[in-house]
Structure 1
Amino acid sequence: MKKITQLLLLLNLLLSTCLSVSAQAPDNSLQASLNESLKNSTPTLSAHANLQQDAVQLTWKHNKENSSKKYIIEKRTNHKDWEEITTVVCATQKTIDMQYFHLDHAPSIHPSYYRLKMIDANGKNDYSNVIRVYYNKYKAKTPGISIAFGAPE
């Protein structure tokens, strides 16, 4: 697993170096393509987590310009497959930003991983960042404790 991680880091470094070098050319079609893609891309879906009593609270924002239809909250424990734990239907009001949250009242004592799967009006889907949660039932009695999160190892 360590060698795979090192290989991915090296690949990421090589790709970022190639992109930064090729982006310096003024008439670069790759750079123009990247700029166009970034300009037309949907906003990044970003989720956060906090401990609330005996639950894990997931929060995220729904951008008013976002065409999402629903969010599926997925959870994974012990490096198993992702499981759908609930679906949240988006508000029909598209003129304001919306804040959403979900409480997972069944947190695992093992490290858990959460992510959001956004499904838009056209049926396309996008995923949020993956949140790693270490739930300690003894420390969770204090509400509002922030927890560490990041990509799975």
Structure 2
Amino acid sequence: MQKIQPIHLDEQLCFQVYSTNKKFNHFYQEALRPFDLTYPQYIAMLTLWQYAPLSVKQLGEYLHLDSGTLTPLLKRLESHGWITRSRSEADERTVIINLTDDATHNKREVFKRVNSCFEVLGLTEEEKDACSQTMQTIEEKLDQYNHEV
């Protein structure tokens, strides 16, 4: 019988990703606190700053989130004055998300706070690109595996 070697916690790539993610979340929690934004709200805002107006379905496709997860997040963003939601004139079943003037005005300040992450990390552009490429490869391989299972 083949002896199975234990895998140590500090050798687990999944644990390294998990641990790093927790630390990123803490960084973003502090960076976004002055704007009363959570990280999920921030990534929604990033997408909207880039592509608005968007339907809820389109936003969900960008973020890999379903409407059941997005709806409470969008309600909070709307109640805090970041977005507006309205029914599409072409199809009343479709909800369109737009940015408010405050969201457009605060974009630069949010980016200033969040971009300090690169100063904290001290990564060169090449190192950042390499990390990003590695994470993208991992994500693609996991997607491939999950579609096969």
TM-score range, shorter chain: under 0.3
Q: Please state which structure has a larger fraction of its residues in helix.
A: 2
Q: Please state which structure has a larger fraction of its residues in strand.
A: 1
TM-score (normalised: structure 2):
0.24
TM-score (normalised: structure 1):
0.24
